[in-house]
A and B are shown apart, each in its own frame.
Chain A
Amino acid sequence: NAGVMQNPRHLVRRRGQEARLRCSPMKGHSHVYWYRQLPEEGLKFMVYLQKENIIDESGMPKERFSAEFPKEGPSILRIQQVVRGDSAAYFCASSSGRSPNGYTFGSGTRLTVV
């Protein structure tokens, strides 16, 4: 069981470029969560998805950010026209939805905008 896989581990983008972060949930998990961790802060919820559906996006910035979890393939968090303030660690977590065991986190993608 490979766990939650996130890639890339590190991503550098220039201001104005697009960033695409990928998350493959654990085998058998159909629920995916994205969190953002700013320096010296705890993780902040962004979005919760089930296969092909966004369930809760209350933590997503209104502009430039989008997320998807297609029927086939990984979940994608997309940030368009990145700015320096987007620099952070982005974590994905997955669960089976059956028991709230705090689910399983990936190792995160550290995005640096230069």
Chain B
Amino acid sequence: GENVEQHPSTLSVQEGDSAVIKCTYSDSASNYFPWYKQELGKRPQLIIDIRSNVGEKKDQRIAVTLNKTAKHFSLHITETQPEDSAVYFCAAKGMDTDKLIFGTGTRLQVFP
């Protein structure tokens, strides 16, 4: 089955700096890769997603890149702000399933 690895587990940056979180997946047939942000005690919120027919997608300060050959995808947050502090989860979905397999999460702290 699909396996998703996520790094780093924690990330601390200064406000205004960029943050990058990386995920690798095992199933080459996976075709959908969302990123979720979860604040403490709250629901995961979809912040950006990418499908396998696209290499990069950007939404304001957030971007996701996908390298299908290497089976990895990354989340890029530019000009970080303290409110970006949260746990971020990547996920992958195989072609013949509805299930999302989640990474282990990255705790991002943005210091003012």
- A, B bound: no
